[in-house]
Amino acid sequence: MLWLPHVADEKIDIGSAFYREWKLRLGGALHFQTVEVSGLENIPVKGPALLAPNHLNWKDIFFTAAVVSRQLYFVGTHELFDYRFCRHMIYKYSMRTVRPKFTKPIFKWLATYLARVIVPRVRRVGTIPIKRNDHDRQFFEVSKEYLRIGRAICIFPEGRIGDGKVLRPFKLGAAKILLDLYHEGRRRIPAIPIAIKGTEKLFLPWRRLVFRVGKPIYIDDFIEPRDRATLVGFTRGLQERVGELFYRP
């Protein structure tokens, strides 16, 4: 079990047995999809790693956890820890996707039920909360601590949901985490580019879902005299690698 600081300086008990059970149930949702997976061998089976997929929908977390064999610690908005926000998010997504007005009572009930299921589990699987700004010190410190002790974290560098057609500009957060650790003497921590496709749609039977993993890149190969240039260069390189996977038919 792992104990790390989380929201409001609480201590969260993270058990790998719970994660395995959670992952198994998530995998069940993929049995009736057409799932295309490639490049999983590029994700190290142990040691620190930073996974960097594009972001299409909140289902990206479930899809990634179901596909990747090792335990991951996801970065998610701090609002996911709030029951009311989570319920509202699920409801709005359902209504936007399906739309008919007669479904409102059904989706209100569904959103309430799912929020009650999701919120406590968001904590227990070790989600790293992040506030919507570029200066969330707690997010950076917790993320670095996970990597220091050899865990794999998953960050969506777009910072928000995309439209499934083009990648949004990547933010510098992932690069900053790796550069800080580089300055500590922790070298060659792999950043793994990943492309996800299909999760922006409802998981209907035989829906095509794609999960492509590219070869890792390292902040060590982008070091410049000025840290800002290093951050920008690495982030640009990471986005190019994800783009190569994402725009492939």
The tokens describing 208, both together, are 């095509």
pLDDT for the residue 114: 75
Judge whether 20 lies within some domain.
no
The tokens describing 242, both together, are 């994800």
CB 147 within 8 A of CB 189: yes
Judge whether 185 lies within some domain.
yes
Task: Say whether pLDDT at 104 is over 50.
Answer: yes
Domain that holds residue 210: 36-78+126-246
User: Percent of the chain having pLDDT more than 70?
Assistant: 76
pLDDT for the residue 11: 39
Task: Say whether pLDDT at 134 is over 80.
Answer: no
Judge whether 22 lies within some domain.
no
Judge whether 106 lies within some domain.
no
Task: Say whether pLDDT at 5 is over 50.
Answer: no
Judge whether 105 lies within some domain.
no
Q: How confident is the model at residue 6 (pLDDT cuts 50, 70, 90)?
A: very low
What is the distance of C-alpha 249 from the center of its chain?
23
221 versus 2: the higher-pLDDT residue is 221
pLDDT mean across residues, the chain: 82
Distances (CA, A) of 183 to 32, 36, 128, 141, 201: 46, 38, 22, 14, 41
29 versus 7: the higher-pLDDT residue is 29
- Alpha carbons 228 and 216: distance in angstroms, whole number: 21
Judge whether 89 lies within some domain.
no
Residue type, 84: R
CB atoms within 10 A of CB 190: 19
pLDDT for the residue 13: 41
- Alpha carbons 230 and 234: distance in angstroms, whole number: 6
pLDDT for the residue 235: 98
Which CATH number characterizes residue 183's domain? 3.40.1130.10
Cβ contacts of 126 within 8 Å, gap of 6 or more: 2, 4, 12, 14, 19, 71, 73, 74
Phi-psi region of 8 (alpha: psi -120 to 50; beta: other; left: phi over 0): left
Select the highest-mean-pLDDT range: 21-25, 161-165, 213-217.
213-217
User: Percent of the chain having pLDDT more than 90?
Assistant: 45
Judge whether 11 lies within some domain.
no
Judge whether 221 lies within some domain.
yes
Tally of domains in the chain: 1
